[in-house]
Structure 1
Amino acid sequence: MQSQAPGSEQGRAPAKRKQKRPAGHEETDDDERSRKTQAGGTSAVRGLLRDFLEQQLRLDVQRQEMMERQARERLFFEEQWRQSIQRMERERLMLEQAWVEREEQRRMREEARAERRDAILTSLLTRLLQGDL
C-alpha cells in the first residue's frame, strides 16, 4: 500500500493551501486573472439582473397601458349603451304619445258619431210623436 497524508483521499492530490503573502507582495497573474473573472461574472449577473428589471418595467408599463385602454373602451361602450337606451326611451315615449293622440282622436270621432246618431234618433222620435211621419 501507498502511504498517504492523513485526511487525503486515495487518488487525489492533496489540496493546495493558499499561502499568506507577505506585506507588499505583488499579485501574481493567476490572482489577477481570477479576480477579473470573478468581476466579469459579477458584472454579467448584474447585467442580467438589470435587463430582467428593465424587461419587467416594460411589461408593467405595457400592462398599465393595456388596463387604461380597456378602461377607456369600457367607458366608451358604457356611454354608447347609455345613449342607445336613452334614444330607445325617447322613441318609446314618442310612440306612446302618438298612440295617446290617435286614441284621443278616435274617441272624439266616436263621440261625434254618437252625438249625430242621438240627434237623428231624437229628431225621428220627435217627428213620430208629432205625427209628421
Structure 2
Amino acid sequence: MNTWLASSPWLYPALLHLHRTCVMLSVALFIARGVGVALLQAWPMQTSWRYLSVAIDVPLLLAGASLWVLLGYHPLQQTWLGVKLVLLVVYIVLGSFALKRGRTRGQRLAFFIAALAVVLSMAGIALTRSPAFWR
C-alpha cells in the first residue's frame, strides 16, 4: 500500500471528489460553450469563459495525476487508463475544432458531437475501469 494512503486515508476520497467535480464542471462548461457556438453567440469565445475553462481543467488534471501517483497506476499497465489518456487528447483536439477551429458551422457541430461522444466514452471507461466499457 502506498505510504501516503496509509498515513492519510482521507486523501484518496478528497482527490477523487475533486477530480469528479472538475470533470462535471468542465464538461458542463464545454457543452454550454459548444451550444453557444452552434447558436452563433459571441460569449463562448470571450476571454473570461476561456480562462474559466483553464481554471477548471488545471485542477482536474492535477487531481487525476495525483490519483495515479497515489494509487501507483501506470497507463501501460492499466490499459483502461492508457485508453482514457489517448481519448483525452482526442477530446481536446475535437473540442478545439468544435469551438473555434472548425471552418463552418456544420463542421463545428460535427466536431462538438464527436467530442461529446469521446467524453462519454472516457466516463464509461473511468467508471468500469475497462477499455471496452460497453461490455
Q: Which of 1 and 2 has greater Rg?
A: 1
Shared topology, TM-score over 0.5?
no
TM-score for the superposition, normalised by structure 2: 0.25
